[in-house]
Amino acid sequence: MQLKENERIDELQYKNLKIIQNEDGFCFGIDSVLLSDFAKDIKNNSAGVDLGSGTGIISILLSAKTKLEKIIGVEIQEDVAEMANRSVILNNIQDKIEILNLDIKDIIQNKSNNKENINKLIENKLQREKFDFVVTNPPYKKLDTGKVNANENKYISRHELTANLEDFLNVSKYLLKDKGAFYMVHRPDRLVDIIELMRKYKIEPKKIRFVYSSIEKEPSLILIKGIKNANPFLKIDRPLIIYNENGEYTEEIYEIYGE
C-alpha cells in the first residue's frame, strides 16, 4: 500500500494487525488501547458505533478482540477518516468496519448544510436506536483550556472544538437501543460532568475503572461503562496500573497489548 507524506505503518502487536499513522497528526495513545480492552465484553454479533474514531484504532482492535458483527467509525476530519479507511483495507476487515467522514452532531440534526448526500448517508447508516453499543474516546479538554496546539488535527482531537462532551452523550443516546452499552475513556477531572450528562441522556453509569500511570500517582484516566435506560447500580472496579516500580509495563498492561 502506497503511503502519503509523513505516514507510516505501525504494528499493533495483536493478531498481526497494523495501522497507518501520520507523524504530523494525532497518533493513538494508550487510552484508546485500554478502552478497546475495557469494551471487549460487548455481546457477540452486535453492531456499534465508534464516535470520533480518529485513526480507527479502537474499531480495529475491537474487531479482533470481540465477535462483533459491524462497527461504524464516525470521524469529522476528512484526511484522518480517509487514512483510517486505508488501515481497514490494509487489515482486510472491510466486512466488519466502515469509516464515515461526518460531524457527529449532524447525526441528530439529520442535515448538513443542505448536503443531500450526507443526509442520505446518515439516514441509511446511522438510524435512531439501531445499535447495541457505542465506544468513544472524545476530546478531553474544554475550549479555552490547556495548551493550544498549532497543528489543527491535534487541536481538534484534544479540545472540544467541533463537539463537546454533551454532544457525544446526546448522540450516543440517539444511536443506542434500549439497554445498549456505552463505553468511554476520559479524564478524572471531568467525572462529575460525565456522570451528570450520562444521567441527563438516560445512560446509567454501571462501571468505572480508574487508570494510574504508577501506584503512587493520582489517576490519569477513567474508563466508564453505562447502559441506556438501566436501573442505578455503580461498580467501582479495581485500579489499573500502567507501570510498575521498575518503570516497565505491569503484567496486566502486557496482557492488554497481547504480549
Identify the CATH number of the domain in which residue 97 sits. 3.40.50.150
* Average pLDDT score over residue span 224-246: 97
Answer yes or no: is 113 within a domain: yes
CA distance 118 to 44: 30
Q: What is the mean pLDDT of the chain?
A: 91
pLDDT in tens, 60-83: 999 999 999 999 999 999 999 999
Q: In the predicted model, is pLDDT for residue 157 greater than 50? A: no
Query: How many separate domains does the chain show?
Result: 1
Cell numbers 455481546 label which residue? 43
Residue 235 has pLDDT above 70, yes or no: yes
Residue 15 resides in a domain: no
Q: Assess contact for 104 and 175: CB atoms under 8 A.
A: no
Kindly state whether residue 9 falls inside one of the protein's structural domains.
no
Give the span between the Cα atoms of 214 and 37, in whole angstroms: 19
Q: Using pLDDT thresholds of 50, 70 and 90, give the confidence band for residue 135.
A: very high
Q: 10 Å Cβ neighbour count for 84?
A: 26
Q: Is residue 20 part of a domain?
A: no
Residue 14 maps to a domain: no
Q: Is residue 1 part of a domain?
A: no
- Residue 211 has a CB neighbour count (10 Å cut-off) of 20
Tell me which residue has cell 507523524: 23
The reply to whether 21 falls in a domain is no
Q: Decide if pLDDT at 147 tops 90.
A: no
The answer to whether residue 13 sits within a structural domain is no
C-alpha cell at 237: 472496579
Could you list the residue range(s) of the whole structural domain that residue 92 is in?
Answer: 29-256
Poorest-confidence range of 59-68, 70-79, 135-144, 220-229? 135-144
Cα–Cα dist 58/39, whole Å = 10
What integer pLDDT is reported at residue 2 of this predicted model? 82
Q: What are the Cα distances from residue 222, in Å, to 17, 218, 227, 237? A: 26, 11, 17, 11
